[in-house]
Structure formats: C-alpha cells, structure tokens
C-alpha cells in the first residue's frame, strides 16, 4: 500500500515536474499514537529531516481522512511539517470511496502550499489561484456533478484534487496551482528535496535501487545474506557478528 501511495503521488504530480521517492519506511508500534493522534508526540520523535524530507504518517488521523500544515505555518525545519493520513485512505487497504490514494495527493497539496478550491467560499481571495473558479463551501463540495455555485465565471472545480469529492471524481491540478506550489516551495521550503543519500539512521539498500533501510536491521538476527524484512537487501552488510551462516548465499560473516 505504501509503494502504491507513492506511485499515486508520482502519477498525480508528474505533469508539473514533481516526483517522489520512498527514502525509508519505518514501522512503530504505539497504539496511543495510532488511535489518539498524539501528533506532536510522535512527530517530535519520528520526523526525519523535515527541511529536506516529506514525512508521511499513517494513523487513524483523529477521525479525519488526513491533514497537513501549510508551508508558512511553521519554520521549514519544524517537525510539525509533514502529512498525516488515515491508513484506510492508502490504495487498496479498505474498500470505500476514498481508497485510491487521492487523500495523500490532497494533503501533499496542502503541504506544498495549496488551499482548498472552496477557500473563502464565493468571496475574498479564494485559494489564491486564478484558474480555479470560485466555489461555495457548503455541502456541494462533496458532490461529483457539474455545478456553478458562485456568480463569478466558471463551474465548480469538482475534479480538482484540492476539492472534497471522492477519489473516483478528482483527477487534476491546474497550471496555476503548479505555479503556486513552485512559489511556496521556493519561499518557504527552499531545502525540500535537496538531501542526497539516506537520512540519519538509515543505509542504502544493497540492490542499488535507491531505497533506504533502517541501519538497526543490520545485526538484528535476520539473515542479512538474503532479502531483509519489507524487501530490504542488506547483503553488502553481511559481516555483522553472526547474522549470516558461512554456507548460505556465499556469506562471508567473520564469525561464521
């Protein structure tokens, strides 16, 4: 589901020159964090390089589909940045109307600086994007049929990722939204995506596919001469005090 979510992000943002790579995958066992959405607690302990890395957390999201903060809400390096997703919104986890991964696309949009298309309803500055028509913020935001709820030109952008329609209805961003993302990232997140290699506490996957694996998995009792848990290949780190057997996979563990 996680890899599929990354695929959905890439397919949704590719037209605008944005791409996402799964740098690392961490599993944390804490029912309080998962069920009670103790956001500041788990983010302060789990966040990896918030200035350069998009951190995504899957929990029950406090009963929401997900949420994220805008770039200007916190300093670039604050651990509060990132995206929180209800785990049921990941692709193919739960069979319902928000099961295609588009909640992740929507929340990453907020993370990159986009407002809802119905921001300020029919008045004010709206979402600060010229090519998304104004939209009333009533119950219509959930409907997937053509409407024009404001007197200004243009039908409601029901297919826009920053609307509240369900996953089989939303399919697009606009060029104006792309321009706003570029401006917001340049202004508030200039370090985003600049880090090379794996974050602290992680090592390169030996397969050379660019993935990162938890460094703690080396010497943890799993056989590093074969694929590690969650598909990590740690075969190039096999000299690690007995995780390997000398007669398995050509292993050269010093203690075998």
Angle at CA 197, nearest 5°, toward 47 and 56? 30
| Rounded-to-integer distance, Cα 217 and Cα 232, Å | 9
Distances (CA, A) of 247 to 244, 253, 256: 9, 10, 9
Q: Are 231 and 93 in contact (CB under 8 A)?
A: no
| 107 catalytically annotated | yes
Q: Would you state the structure tokens that stand for residue 143, as one six-digit string? A: 């409907």
Q: Are 159 and 174 in contact (CB under 8 A)?
A: no
| Rounded-to-integer distance, Cα 57 and Cα 20, Å | 15
Of residues 107, 186, 215, 226, which has the active-site annotation?
107
Q: What are phi and psi of 31, to 5 degrees?
A: -65, -30
Partnered with residue 204 across adjacent β-strands are 212
146 half-sphere exposure, CB direction, 13 A CA radius: 2
Of 66, 248, 82, 44, the closest CA to residue 167 belongs to: 66
Angle at CA 202, nearest 5°, toward 5 and 76? 70
| Rounded-to-integer distance, Cα 84 and Cα 58, Å | 6
For residue 121, the tally of other CB atoms under 10 A from its CB is: 15
User: Which positions are annotated as active-site residues?
Assistant: 107
């Amino acid at each position: 589901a996680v890899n599929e979510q990354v695929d959905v992000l890439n397919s949704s943002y590719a037209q605008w020159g944005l791409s996402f790579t799964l740098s690392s995958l961490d599993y944390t066992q804490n029912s309080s964090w998962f069920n009670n959405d103790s956001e500041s607690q788990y983010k302060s302990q789990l966040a990896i390089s918030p200035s350069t890395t998009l951190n995504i957390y899957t929990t029950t999201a406090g009963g929401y589909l997900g949420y994220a903060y805008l770039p200007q809400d916190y300093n670039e390096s604050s651990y509060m940045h990132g995206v929180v997703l209800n785990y049921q919104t990941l692709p193919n986890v739960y069979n319902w109307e928000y099961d295609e991964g588009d909640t992740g696309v929507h929340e990453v949009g907020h993370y990159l600086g986009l407002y809802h298309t119905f921001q300020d309803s029919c008045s004010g500055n709206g979402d600060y994007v010229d090519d998304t028509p104004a939209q009333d913020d009533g119950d219509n935001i959930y409907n997937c049929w053509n409407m024009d709820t404001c007197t200004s030109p243009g039908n409601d952008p029901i297919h826009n990722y920053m609307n509240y329609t369900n996953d089989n209805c939303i399919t697009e961003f606009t060029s104006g939204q792309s321009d706003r993302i570029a401006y917001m990232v340049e202004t508030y997140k200039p370090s985003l995506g600049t880090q090379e290699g794996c974050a602290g506490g992680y090592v390169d996957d030996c397969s050379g596919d660019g993935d990162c694996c938890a460094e703690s998995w080396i010497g943890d009792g799993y056989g590093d001469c074969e694929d590690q848990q969650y598909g990590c290949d740690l075969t190039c780190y096999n000299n690690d005090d007995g995780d390997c057997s000398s007669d398995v996979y050509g292993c050269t563990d010093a203690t075998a």
